[in-house]
Each structure stands twice: as C-alpha cells, then as structure tokens.
A and B are shown apart, each in its own frame.
Chain A
Amino acid sequence: MKHLFSFFCTAVLCTSVAFAQSDSTEKTQQQDLDVIPVVSANSDDLSESISDQNVASMLASSGDIYAATLAYRLNQAGFRYRGYRNDQFTTIINGILINDPENGQSFFNGSGAFTDLMRNRSGSLGLLPSSFAFGGLGGSYNLDLRAGGMRKGLSLNYTATNRSYYNRLNGSYSTGYIKGGWAFTVAFSRRWAVKGYEPGTSYDGYGYFLGIEKKFGTKNRLALTIFGTPTQSARATSSVREFQQLAGTNYYNADWGYQNGQIRSANVNKRFEPTFMLTHEAKISNKTNIITGIDFEIGRNQTSNIDYFNSPSPDPDYYKNLPSLISDPGQRAMAEELFRTDANVRQIAWDKLYAINRAAPIGPNGRQSSYILGDRMEDNKQVNFNTTLNHTFYDHISLTAGLTYQWEKVRHYKQVNDLLGGDYYVNLNDYAVQDFPTNPDVLQNDLQHPNRILHVGDAYEYDYSSQIHKTSVWLQPYFKFNHVEFFVSGQLTHNYYWRTGNVQNGLYPDNSLGDSKKISLINYAIKAGFQYKINGRNYFYANGEVKTEAPTFNQSFLSARIRNEVVTGLTNENVYAAEIGYQYKSPIITLKISGFYTEFQNGIQNRTFFHDDYRTNVNYSLTGIGKRELGGELGFDAKIYKGFSVNLVASGGLYKYSSNASATITKDNSDQILANQTAYIKNYYLGGMPQVSGSLGFKYSSKHYWYVGINFNYFDQMYVEINPIRRTLAAVDLVDYGSAQYNEILHQEKLKGQFTMDMTGGYNLLLNKYIHHMGKYKYSLNFYGTLTNMANNRNFVINGQEQLRYDYGQNNLDKFGTKYRYMHGFGYFVSVAFRMQ
C-alpha cells in the first residue's frame, strides 16, 4: 500500500456518525519540496505532512480522550504525536501489516471513502503493548474490515464540506452473518469537488468495497476483502511569501493556468491501488487465537508536471520570476504589476506553451515540443503476509507472537502525458550538455536507445525499480498480577532490498543499468514496560524501547532515479525511547499525564535539489543525523453536570536535532564527490509541527441523542523546517563571522503561535417513532457537523519549509525563500446519514 495521502478520517464520535476531518492531505506537501520539476516525488518526503492526518484515527481509536482530541482538534495544525513521523505508527488491517515496505509509511487509502465501515478498530498508543502488532514508537492501530463484523443494514451518507473535496456520497450494505455462516458487505463512495479550496484544485474520487466472509463452525473465519479508491485530484503547492503577497492570497497556487479560458492544472495526481485481502482467523480455544492474512496490491500512482527541454522554466513561481531579484526599481514595479494583474504571468500560460511548441520547425518527425506534460509514475506490486498468535497460558501469563513477510516492487519512471501541441519529445538530459560538451553520450537518458523520439505514453528520463523483501518475527510475553502488569517483547527484522535500473544512463553507463548491490540489514527491537495499579482508579506505567531501524530505500541510494550508487556509510539508525505516565479514571474524571523521551541516532537523509552554479541536480546525502524529542502530555476530562463536560489536552515538547550531520555532495552528472561538509544542525528545532499545543473543550450531551461541543485550540513553538545546507561552511563563506548577515543565514524562523476555535455537534433521529409500520427494521437519520477555524484565520502558517537550494553566490535568502503553507480558513463538514438496520 504505497502512498500516503488521505488518512483515516473517520472517528466514531458519538453515535456512528462518521466524522471526516479535512482530507486536505490529498494535496500534499511533497510539491513544496519539489523545488524543480525534475526531482522525483520522494516518498520519504511525503510523510511529513501526511503523518499528522494519517495517524489521527489511530490516536482516536486508542480510546482515550487525550488521543482523540489530539486527533481531531490539534491535527489541523500539523500536530505530530511526540514529533514522530508517520512511519513510527503501525497499521494492521484484517490482521495484515500494511505499512509500506519501501518507506515504512502507514497508510490506508480507503480511509476517506469508507468511513462507515471503520467501526471495528482498536489502537495502542506510544510504547504500550498490543495484541496485534509489535508496534512503532507512536503506537499501533488495528482495523477490522471483515464482513462478519460489520453492522447489519443499510447506510447512506451525504457530506458537504469545503476541504480538498466538497461533496461526498457513500453507502454500504452489510448482511451480517446469514445462513451458512456467510456475511457480505458492499460499499461505494464518491468524493468530488469541481473546484477545491485552493484555486486550481479539484477532486474526483470513487471507491468500491466488497467483503465476503464465511464462518466455519464457531472457530474459523475466512474473509475476503476487496477494495479500491480510484482517485484523481488536481493539487496545490505552497509558495514563497513574495509570490503569495503579490497574488494577494496565502493560498496562491502556481500549478494551474488558463488554456482557452479554461482552468487547467499541471499538478494532477491519479491513483488507483486495488487491494485484495484474505484473512483467516482460528479461535482454537478460549485461550488460543491465530489470525493469518495475506494481501495483494497492484496499483499505480502518477503525478504530472511540466517538463521542458532547452527552454526557460514555465513555472510562474520559478525563482527567476521573483520581482525582488530585479535591481532596477522601475522594472521591478512593472514585473510586480504584471504578476498582480496578468493571470498568464501569475499562472501557467498554457496557450503560450502550445504556441511555442507549434511554432517549432517541422523536422522528419514533425515538431519537437519544448514543453510537455509528463507523469512521474509509480507502478507498484505488493504482497503482505502476516500471522499473529495470541495464547494465554494461565491467568497470569499470555503470549503474543507474530510473523510478517512483505514484498514490494515499485517501478519508478516518467511517462509522456501530453505533447502540448508538438509532435514529439526527445529523451535527452539537457543539463548534462553543459558540463560535457565533448561527450555526447552523457546526454542520453537511455544509452541503449539513444536520441529516442517520444510520443504520448512513452517512458523517459529515469526508469528504475525498487524491490524490497522485509521479514520480521516478534514475541511478546505479558504478565498480569493484581497490582502489577509487565511485558517484554522483542522483534527481529530482516531487510533485503535493491535497485534495478531499467535504462542505462549516459552519465553512469557502468552504474545505472541492472541490479544494484543488494542491501541486507538486520534490525532488532526490544521493548519492555510495566504498569502498577495503585487501585482500580490510579495507574502508573513506564515503558522503554531500544531498536535499530534500517534506512528506507530512498535513503539508501545517492540518487535512486538514475544510478545504483549506495550511500557511503549506510547504516542502521539507533533509536531509544522511554515514557512514563500516570492515569486516573473514575466515572466522572479521566486524567492522564505522561512524559516521553526519544533519541534517534545515525539517521540518513538524501536531498536532491537544483544547483545554480552547476546547472544540474545536486545530491546531498546527510548521514549521522541525530534527533531528540522529549516532552510531556496532559489529558483531562470531567463530566461536570448533567451532560456538561470539560476537557483539556496539552502536549509540550522539545524536538531538536541532537547532532551535526555529515553531508556528502555529489552531482547528478558526475561521479565526483564535490565536497564532504558538516551540516551544523545540532540544536535546531525540528520543523513542520507545533511543539506545544493544547485544546480546551466544552461539551454538552443531551439525553435526547444530540450533543454540541466547542474547542479552543492553541499552537505554539512552531519552526520552519531548516535546509541543512544553509548551515554549512560553504553557506557562510565570505560572510563576516558573527555579523548580522551571518546570523541571519543561520537563523531558524519561528512561526507565530495561533489560536483556533472549532465547534462540533450531532443529532441522531430515530424515525420509527414518527413513521409506523416499518417492520422489524430500525430507521434513523444522523446529522453531524463540525466547523473548524471559526474565526476564519487565514494567516496561520502551519508549515514553513526552507527550500533546499541555496544562493551560495550572494547569500540572498529570499532568492530561494521559505515556502509557507497556511491553514485553511473557516471550514465546515456537515453530513447526514440514513441508516436502516
């Protein structure tokens, strides 16, 4: 299950009214990192923005107020549980581990579509043990989509919202167990927005779901689950402040333009990854349960962008279009005015691109396009196998054990989508030309088919496959006594993966085609913890974990798009984590307080960006990255009086880089190591999330099946994500040590703390009361609504990222400025559901 967009948006808040949070992650941050179109979408990068959303349902499912509030109230500002990225959360569906082996991401692509089917779930938070998975640092999440467990009856739901989609229709019908032990569920979903929240965005998604289950006797269940969510969406990317200001909106999106007066987006994502799951569960006895599942996925994820050959960038927000770079004030004012007033300057000038392509001289193959629309393709095949045993020896000792095998193969390549009025395109690397004027081979993206003429549907530029085998076993004995419960668990994982080049690149004729070195890494994880029950209401717990983690596929290769070169000094990451907590639970008051500490050592990051002077992509391989995340959490909920309750959650953390990193710099078009540098990132804050956040909520629940709540949320200690190369010797070369400019270069921008206010309410109307003669069925209407960011704060930066490029020449920080993503303004999500059961 490859990609990470979307999230588990449901939560069963009161009745079974599905609450889908903003699905705005369908539009991801990834484009922000994509400083230039040639950089492929790096799945690792995607995680940053996805994690918060994706993890939401996991938090909610853990059943504590702290987590649930985090999920729904804090999530909108990019809150990340304990600062963790998405890969620190484990997701199990129907007994099968579905975290993507290529990058560890936890993602279920049906989450936005089948909210009414996601009732059977459980979760464990942090380092607490669970009975279904070893779990990541953030916890684990177990979703049961088997037909037998679905609530019987018909459900139809319509939702109106103003997020990445504006309308959603979904419906499901479940039979429950019928004669012969069979159970069936069918569901569909449709989500769409002709125009999304940001200008130029749109959404068009479908979903289908079929679940068949057969129960054999009382002990065996066999379930087949098939689902898929073919989705097409036009996305938005964030931009630098100068362009946002000139455009007059913080939601400025450069990815679209007018073609014959019609809006057309260049950034269109299409994804369809059909999934087939087979799950067998044997309840051998009251004491022994084995659940085994296998899952197949075959799919494709593609995202378009404009490519160009020997021509200026068509991107309206290309840095060279920044008026501030123009020194002549008159010219600058003119450029600013043009950007403000001319949609063809501010947005992609499709008509102009067509005109340029059509004006090309006619050769033997017709006209060569200077600009084309290309798709970054990811064709993936995946198999996940998982078996988990739970056995209770006697009252005090139980054992959970599991075995997982995952295989994934992803072919990454580019494909011509539209020649934009021309007749063909050529498969050449126009950057290499400048560096090796005397060696024509370097131009060739595919040496075996030199100068290949491309038409729509042809693969070009890069073409490689990643292949990953990941096997793990884990064991978790659990001991339970009157006052004390404790566990020790261990996991061993074998990672075996490599790259296969499908083309021979002219720059690396000897190191691009065929299989790379096969990387084999063994990882362990040991986790232990105990819980002390002072009495039935007071608990104290402490857990700790030590583990190593293999680098992801993308972290392992210097430039996976074109070459087989493995990062020098490839090594496992060491992770140490601990948490302590206290919990008080009474019928009236729930209180949870905890502290956590996590240390990551020897992390790896690969960053590819365009280098001005070299006129090519440069790869920065950062090794030895250390991160430290510590903090405290508070969750409090009290039922004050007759249905009124108050709750408070807060999370305060200190998330920083804890060591400097070594940067090895290479160019995409030569073998030469340009430099080994130190990135002085120690003590910089981890960016892209609020490190302090809290929410105070009041809720009233009526006996008459309705409730209403209001939440006041606060977010602070948010920092811009730093560009490590701005903290190197090279970046401050020729800058006076300690001068204002020097400090400015090294400075990390802190984003403004912000308040938001949300309201939520729901009502469940039983229809049987009003309409008689409805037979044995129960009919109900559920109304649900949530209003977010009620003050319509449109100046809330929830993510700022320094671009990876750096202006070494002039140290002009605005040339490749920070890109800002803003929280959507006032949002609504209202739904009505009809249920017959």
Chain B
Amino acid sequence: MTSVQIKKAAAAVMLCTAIVLAVVSCKKDNFDIPSPGANIDPAGVHATMTIKQFKQAYCVPNMNSYLPVMLTDSVIISGIVNADDRSGNFYKIISLQDSTGGIQIKVGSSYLYQDYPIGRRIFIKTKGLLFFNYTGTFELGGYIDTTTSTFPNVGAIVIDKAADHIIKGQWGLDIPVVHKTTAQLTFNTDNINEQSTLIQLDDMEFGRFDTTQTYADAVTKASVDRTVYDCSNYGVTVRSSGYANFASLKPNKGHGSIRGVYTYYSVHNVPQLILRDTSDIMFTNAPRCH
C-alpha cells in the first residue's frame, strides 16, 4: 500500500464518516409528539335540553309509571358528574347535574370513576335509553331488567355501549353546592328537579345512637340508614351501601356541615342523602346540639 493510497483512503474514510455522522446527527431528540388529551369538551356535541326541561318532558308524564319507558327522541342532556363509584357507595351509577337539576344514570361497570369521575362534564345521548322512576328517584338505564325483582326495572347500560350514549367532556370542574335546610327537603313540588343534585346541610350532627353504629353492614353488604339531625331535631336519612369502603366506619360524633346527593325513597316517603365518601362530612369539634 503506497502512501498516496493510504492518504486517499484516509481522506475517503474521513469524508464518509463525516457524511454518516451528519445524517445521524440530523436526529432531534425533542421530536414533536402530537398532543392528545387537552382538557376540553368535545367539538360538535351540545345539550339540546337542560336536565329540568328533560325531566319536564319525560319524567313528569311518566311519574306514576312503574314501568320503564323507552326514550325515542334525539335529545342530549349534559351535566357535571356529582357522584361516582369510587368509594363504592354508588354502585354502577353516576349522578350528574346542571344548573337546573340532576339525574342518575346506570352503567354496567364498577370502575365508572375511571371514566366519569366527579367533576367531569358528560353529554348523554338519551335516545335508545330507558327512563325509570325507581321509587321516586329518576334513572336512565340501558335495558328492561326483569331478573332482579318481581317488577321490571332498568338494567345498567352495558359497558361497551356506554361510549355511544355518554360523551366525555372537560374534567376537574367544580360542582356548585346548594345549601339547604332540613325544612326545605320536603320533597314536594320541586323535588323532581332538585333530586340527584349535590346539596349541603349546615349545623348538623348524627344521632347519638347512630354514632355508635357503622354506616352500613360491611359483612352482609346490606345498606343501612343513619340519620343526621339539625338543632331543631329534624332528621334526614343518610343511606349507605354495605359495599362502600367506609361501611364499617362509625359516623363522626361532631357537628357541622354535611354534603351528599339528594335522593328520594317513596316507600318510606323520606328524602335521603347519599354520601360520595366520608369527606362529605365536614364536622368539627363544635358543640353538639344534643
């Protein structure tokens, strides 16, 4: 190998290495990843009725019906989820509200909070769903279920169809809390609209006996009613599921505000509060009335 050849070869190698390195160094590590998932409402989906309008149109005429009613109009309602199934106190149910009222929808999953957590706006395409008056609480469901009771009721929307009816929107939204007094929970004229909304009662405390018992029966999984009282001794039922993760806890002995989803049970003709979890009890060490 002559020195000329070596020089030529060396030059060629350097040139080529430079070219290869040039190609290689074109790579940018900060490549632009398109960005899915901005927290916004879906484009092109709007509520065509408020929840109040919806109830006026469909619940009121069917209020005394004990049979599920098929919804056939192309109606979309929207609202912010005010209760999900994270604690287990709600099971296969989410509750939503807009500024005019609230409603509940049954969906066949035990992980609804992973898709429809509290604070998320959802849009519900009601066509094809069923409306049902479940002992005073109004629900939307997916099919007529005749297996769980002597009377037909609505079954949960099967999870693979949920996406057809429930459109996910912005999340992390605040839910306006309406302060109520026990006297206002008479459940007469306006109960249709106010039910399934988030309410707060102030200056409340659990009954002395209730504080010695658990919220629900975590062993038999039975739901249990506790009562919170105001200082005038008017009581409101707090109903909790045996599946709730706080079922085996005992209610707080303190005094203060309590939040929950306002529902109604016509059999006992009583208004009820359903806790999302125990953080809905905002009691302090303030002196009890009783």
Contact = CB atoms under 8 A, between A and B. Distances in A.
A654 B26 contact: yes
Interface string B4-23: 01001100110011011111
Given A591-B12, A613-B109, A654 B36 contact: no
A732 B37 contact: yes
A589 interface: yes
A262 B246 CA distance: 49
Contacts of A633: 20
Contacts of A809: 111, 114
A613 B1 contact: no
Interface stretch (B27-35, B194-202, B223-231): B27-35
A638 B1 contact: yes
A435 B158 contact: yes
Given A727-B36, A729-B36, A589 B171 contact: no
B39 interface: yes
Contacts of A634: 16-17, 19-20
Interface stretch (A28-36, A368-376, A671-679, A769-777): A671-679
A298 interface: no
B33 A732 contact: no
B159 A737 contact: no
Interface string B32-64: 111111110000000000000000000000000
Given A435-B158, A614-B160, A632-B20, A682 B171 contact: no
Given A613-B109, A631-B23, A734-B171, A729 B13 contact: no
Nearest to B26: A654
A728 B9 contact: no
A435 B158 CA distance: 8
A641 B1 contact: yes
A562 interface: no
B27 A680 contact: no
Contacts of A593: 16, 19-20
A378 to B, nearest CB: 31
A588 interface: yes
Contacts of B161: 672
Given A631-B23, A680-B33, A735-B37, A586 B5 contact: yes
Contacts of A586: 5
A683 B33 CA distance: 6
A746 B109 CA distance: 27
A593 B22 CA distance: 13
B100 to A, nearest CB: 26
A179 B20 CA distance: 56
B286 interface: no
A120 interface: no
B190 interface: no
Contact of B111 (A613, A648, A650): A613
A622 B22 CA distance: 34
A660 B33 CA distance: 10
A101 to B, nearest CB: 35
Nearest to B32: A683
A641 B9 CA distance: 14
Contacts of B33: 680, 683-684, 727, 746
A636 B13 contact: yes
B24 interface: yes
B168 interface: yes
Interface string A637-650: 01111000000101
Contact of A614 (B16, B39, B159): B159
A601 B161 CA distance: 33
A678 B13 CA distance: 45
B160 A672 contact: yes
B117 interface: yes
Interface residues of A, number: 58
Given A638-B1, A672-B160, A692-B24, A591 B16 contact: yes
A136 to B, nearest CB: 23
A539 interface: no
A737 B24 contact: no
A514 interface: no
Contact of A584 (B12, B158, B163): B12
A684 to B, nearest CB: 7
B73 interface: no
Contacts of B1: 588, 638-641
Contacts of B19: 593, 595, 632, 634
A633 B19 CA distance: 9
A414 interface: no
B235 to A, nearest CB: 37
B6 to A, nearest CB: 8
A733 interface: yes
* Interface size range on B against A: 35 or more
A733 B24 CA distance: 36
A654 B23 contact: yes
Given A636-B13, A641-B1, A674-B160, A737 B20 contact: no
Contacts of A728: 36
Contacts of A584: 12
Interface string A110-130: 000000000000000000000
Contact of A680 (B26, B29, B36, B171): B36
A226 B34 CA distance: 54
A737 B35 CA distance: 8
Interface in B106-133: 109, 111, 114-115, 117, 120
Contacts of B22: 632
A674 B158 CA distance: 12
B87 to A, nearest CB: 15
Contacts of B37: 729, 731-733, 735, 737, 742
Interface in A601-648: 613-614, 630-634, 636, 638-641, 648
B247 to A, nearest CB: 19
Contacts of A717: 24, 27
B36 A591 contact: no
A740 to B, nearest CB: 14
B234 to A, nearest CB: 39
Nearest to B108: A435
Nearest to B110: A613
A638 B11 CA distance: 13
B163 A638 contact: no
Interface in A781-818: 808-810
Contacts of A656: 31
Contacts of B115: 733, 808
Contacts of A675: 163
A589 B20 contact: no
A563 interface: no
Nearest to A669: B160
A730 to B, nearest CB: 9
Contacts of B9: 588-589, 591, 636, 638
Q: Most chain-B Cβ atoms within 10 A of its Cβ — which of A660, A678, A733, A737?
A: A733
B127 to A, nearest CB: 17
A691 B8 CA distance: 29
B34 A680 contact: yes
B24 A652 contact: yes
Nearest to A680: B34
B171 to A, nearest CB: 6
A328 interface: no
Interface string A289-332: 00000000000000000000000000000000000000000000
6 contacts: A589-B9, A652-B21, A674-B160, A680-B33, A733-B37, A810-B114
* 10 tightest A-B CB contacts, nearest first: A652-B24, A732-B37, A809-B114, A632-B23, A680-B34, A683-B31, A593-B16, A729-B36, A634-B16, A632-B20
Interface of B: 1, 5, 8-9, 12-13, 16-17, 19-24, 26-27, 29, 31-39, 109, 111, 114-115, 117, 120, 147, 158-161, 163, 168, 171
Given A630-B23, A632-B23, 19 more contacts: A435-B158, A584-B12, A591-B13, A613-B114, A632-B22, A634-B17, A636-B12, A638-B9, A652-B20, A652-B24, A653-B24, A678-B36, A680-B34, A683-B32, A717-B27, A727-B33, A734-B120, A737-B38, A750-B29
